[in-house]
A and B are shown apart, each in its own frame.
Chain A
């Protein structure tokens, strides 16, 4: 009995994940192209996508490597972009307490924006799901996402060499980032974070080793939380 419902949870996850194909395909292909432009070969580019599976962090790392940033700053900056994964992890943890450690390790590997967003909403809306059903749903979400992420990274990397200079690919990364930032600016604290980040990054651009970016990120997070607290206090009184 429970096997059929587990199976249906899997198919439900798969169906819910399908629309993300429209995002995954162009995005991973673009990463392939940009990484190739930065001097990575196909295997290195694919390794990036398989090991990191996080578009924004991958683009960050490649951009900073192109600017000859020191290794440790490349790593710290890209991981800072990925800090949200710790939040995702914290939010999924209570639902997967009974899963085996290797199952939780696989879930951790597959925790990306898409699988997290779908699963967190599903688990919250249907608290009666069993652990097996939750795992099945999560795996289902990943089926349209992960293979295409790998595959189109390779296709982008192979096709990237054919792209002529006149396409101004130097600007592909900034445009991608701006497109990702737009939807993030949904509240005043988010907007504050973005503005402080921009001002501080430009102001601290003289700091060596691109450390200015990390300073800017720190200041931006503090400013956002201050703004949040201010709004809370104001709404209480």
Chain B
């Protein structure tokens, strides 16, 4: 796997951008309130980005050149189910990884 040509640009931009987001109110705009309608939308930013990012990775995994693959699909469903039920991130990752290994072993 070769390296992204703009790796350092990405690291620096993300660093500055993330700091900017964190410093925006505590540091700069202490007295200025962001319009409530924008804040309301921003609350959902993470849950609006991450599922969209992960869906193609689950349905069209790169390891199988984009073909649906039962072991990975099952592991994904188990991980999400455990994460929703128990709200424990690490527990969900461990269970999901265990499912993946078990399925890969059974299929192979």
Contacts and interface: CB of A to CB of B under 8 A. Distances in A.
Interface of A: 22-23, 26-27, 30, 37-40, 44, 47-48, 51-54, 56-57, 60-61, 63, 65-68, 71, 74-75, 77-90, 92-94, 96-97, 101, 104-105, 107-109, 111, 166-168, 170-185, 189-190, 193-198, 200-202, 205, 212-213, 216-218, 220-222, 224-225, 228
Nearest to A169: B63
A108 B44 contact: no
Contacts of A180: 50, 83, 89
A63 B8 CA distance: 15
Contacts of A51: 11-12, 14-15, 18
Contacts of B100: 168, 171, 175
A82 B53 CA distance: 14
A148 B44 CA distance: 28
Contact of A52 (B6, B18, B80): B18
B90 A22 contact: yes
Nearest to A227: B44
Contacts of B51: 181, 193-195, 197-198, 201, 220
What size tier do the contact residues of chain B reach? 35 or more
Contacts of A71: 4, 6, 9-10
A175 B96 contact: yes
14 contacts: A39-B4, A40-B3, A44-B8, A57-B18, A78-B14, A92-B26, A101-B27, A107-B26, A111-B26, A175-B96, A178-B58, A182-B89, A194-B47, A220-B49
A90 B34 contact: yes
**Top 4 A-B residue pairs of the complex, sorted by shortest distance between their CB atoms:** A182-B83, A201-B52, A51-B15, A220-B48
A202 B53 CA distance: 9
Contacts of B55: 197-198, 201-202
B68 interface: no
Interface in B1-34: 1-4, 6-15, 17-19, 21-27, 29-30, 33-34
B100 to A, nearest CB: 6
Contact of B56 (A93, A176, A202): A202
